Amino acid sequence: MIKILNSANITKEEILCRVETPANVDGAVEEVLANVKANGDRALLEYTKKFDGAELERIEVTDAEMLEALATVDEKFVKILKQAAENIKNFHSRQVRGDFVTNDRPGVVLGQRVIPLARVGLYVPGGTASYPSTVLMNCIPAKLAGVGEIVMATPPKNDGKIPAEILAAASVAGVDRIFKMGGAQAVAAMAYGTESVPAVDKIVGPGNIFVATAKSKVRGIVDIDMIAGPSEILVVADEKSDPELVAADMLSQAEHDKLAASILITNSEALANAVSAELEKQIAELPRQEIARTSIDDHGRIIITDSIEKAVEISNLIAPEHLELCVDKPFDILSLVKNAGSVFLGRNTPESVGDYYAGTNHTLPTSGTARFSSPLSVDDFVKTTQFIYYSDDALKADGEGIAYFAEKEGLSAHARAVTKRMAK
């Protein structure tokens, strides 16, 4: 049963309740990374047999496999995928930014170029569930950014096939190449490259603790989007909220993972008790009830406060991945929210609409990192470079100041690079 706490006598540790990385993960991941780096495809095939139960002859999905899978996906789902993709594209297209050039001073030109990454690796989890939504959320912003090639990695089923829905989403989103590999070994392959898998410039996409740890260890060899922890939802709800709906929203994240955290903060003790009872009722109805039960019992909690404003204050301390504001006038308190990955406003906006369809991104900062990081966006798939031009007259006008500045730092050669030109 979920814990019910009162904000008046709760500790910061009880509020945050962070999940720590098991100590045995680091060593296991380092071994996988080293093996793939040294042995390439052979290591990938061995790990796929060991962890996924699939014996593969080749790692990359063929055109024939893609066509076979697409023929099995029902038309209704493809139609929904296409509409979701359009919504995501419409939202993220507003994030695209261009170059700029300034010429505010005579003889001086400054500017910035926005350059798309050449190749990006997209990790799509498998295992207990299939996530075609992750394909759309990660690939579409990359396409809008102008990334040259998008490589996708996702673990196969034990028959050696990728779920047809995943391949359908890849087709709709425009993924260029798809590889049957999962876990830390997939991260290693995309970071280092193998005989079959090209090395990428950046790896994006969520995964389990082994994937997250692998991403953290290859950062610097490649860029990564973020180190994603277990999924989180925080619901701020007042006394008018429907306990059945609040419980349903909390369970939408609890079913993800036994380590997922579902939190309710409310100013109503009656709602707190009603939601607790609803959780018990609804968990029993879920196909993934074992996962949801562990998540709610171990990492779920309800916090009772004296006001909705106090609830938002506590939410800012937690900095949740998903934040629902289940109140009558959510826009009135939106400005109070300082730390959250994505905010869902009102009583008719469950987190699910953002996961699949609305158009905002569902790859979000977790584990409190919303204090300083942002949802995945087009900006994640570009880099900037700047340029400077000085004419002879412009350098003579600014040169004395530049040289003086350099001498103050004790860097005479820097100063001489300017003064020698001024003397010509």
Q: Which of 22, 10, 36, 381 is nearest to 229 (CA)?
A: 22
80-112: b (≥16 Cβ within 10 Å) or e: ebeebbebbbebbeeeeeeeeeeeeeeebeeee
Please confirm, yes or no, whether 321 is among the known catalytic residues. Answer: yes
The structure tokens 């059945």 sit at 244
Cα 204-206-209 angle, rounded to 5 deg: 120
Strands 202-204 and 322-326: unpaired
E strands in 48-182: 100-102, 108-116, 119-123, 149-154, 177-180
Task: Quickly list H helices, 3-129.
Answer: 12-16, 25-39, 41-52, 63-70, 75-92
Beta strands in 230-381 (DSSP E): 232-237, 261-266, 301-304, 322-326, 342-345
Phi, psi (rounded to 5 degrees) for 236: -100, 120
User: Is-contact 121 199, C-beta < 8 A?
Assistant: no
CA-CA-CA-CA dihedral for 40, 46, 48, 54, to nearest 10: 130
| Catalytic choice (165, 255, 278, 321) | 321
d(CA 276, CA 30): 42
Residue 420: count of CB within 10 angstroms of its CB: 11
Helix (H, G, I), strand (E, B) or coil at 287: coil
Annotated catalytic residue, options 92, 256, 299, 322: 322
- Pair 301, 10: CB distance under 8 Å: no
Residues catalogued as catalytic: 321-322
